[in-house]
């Protein structure tokens, strides 16, 4: 599945300890709460529906200024919620309060949510999995995003597995150097 990742970048001069906000905008199947081992009880869907305020949905992860907004409970109307003015307001607020905002959306070919969110952010990247997504899927995803007015700045290819190299290939290999104590 070809995914879409969006970034809003605050200032160009990043402090050493940047404040980062991760927003899980995959309101159907988002699983960031599992990755970060945080609660999913109050999240983006509750904020967008007007049930919760920001201070209730932002969770602080670790000690380094990394905050998370999980997807929350699966709503009956995910695309409609993402199109609400509250989503745009959230992204504007986040851009003013964080150095980097990362918005993870559902797979591009599955639903239109990535295009909806992508129009409201500064930079969009396409994420594809090596060996799973075809060149045709990536091309079609890029075409759909561009038609929706989303400016794709690049792509991330994940799931690449480094394989053992052959004797005739170039690369960084370990040739058996060892160290031993002198006797």
For the domain that residue 145 is a member of, what is the CATH number?
3.40.50.300
Count of structural domains within the chain: 1
Q: Over the stretch 35-90, which tens digit does the pLDDT of each residue have?
A: 888 999 999 999 999 999 999 999 998 777 899 999 999 999 999 999 999 999 99
Q: 50 near 81, Cβ under 8 Å?
A: no
Residue 146 domain-assigned (yes or no): yes
Residue 182 domain-assigned (yes or no): no
Q: 105 near 1, Cβ under 8 Å?
A: no
Whether the pTM exceeds 0.85: the reply is no
Q: 87 near 118, Cβ under 8 Å?
A: no
Residue recorded with tokens 């986040």: 94
Residue 177 domain-assigned (yes or no): no
Q: Over the stretch 115-136, which tens digit does the pLDDT of each residue have?
A: 888 888 888 888 888 888 888 9
Residue 152 domain-assigned (yes or no): yes
- Dihedral (CA of 124, 38, 26, 79) sign: negative
Residue 179 domain-assigned (yes or no): no
Domain that residue 146 falls in: 3-158
Residue 139 domain-assigned (yes or no): yes
Cα–Cα distances (Å) from 48 to 52, 72, 78, 115, 172, in that order, read: 8, 10, 10, 17, 49
Name the DSSP letter for residue 126.
E
Residue 167 domain-assigned (yes or no): no
Residue 170 domain-assigned (yes or no): no
């Amino acid at each position: 599945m070809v995914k879409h990742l969006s970034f809003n970048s605050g200032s160009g001069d990043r402090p050493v300890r940047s404040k980062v906000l991760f927003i899980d905008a995959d309101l159907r199947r988002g699983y960031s709460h599992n990755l970060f081992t945080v609660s999913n009880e109050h999240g983006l869907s509750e904020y967008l529906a007007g049930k919760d305020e920001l201070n209730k949905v932002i969770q602080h992860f670790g000690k380094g200024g990394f905050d998370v907004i999980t997807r929350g409970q699966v709503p009956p109307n995910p695309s409609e919620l993402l199109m609400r003015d509250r989503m745009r307001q959230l992204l504007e607020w986040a851009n003013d309060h964080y150095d980097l905002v990362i918005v993870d959306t559902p797979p591009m070919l599955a639903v239109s949510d990535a295009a909806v969110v992508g129009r409201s952010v500064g930079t969009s990247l396409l994420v594809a999995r090596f060996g799973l997504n075809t060149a045709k899927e990536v091309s079609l995803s890029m075409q759909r995003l561009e038609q929706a007015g989303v400016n794709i700045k690049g792509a991330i290819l994940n799931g690449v597995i480094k394989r053992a190299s052959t004797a005739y290939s170039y690369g960084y290999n370990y040739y058996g150097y060892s160290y031993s104590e002198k006797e």
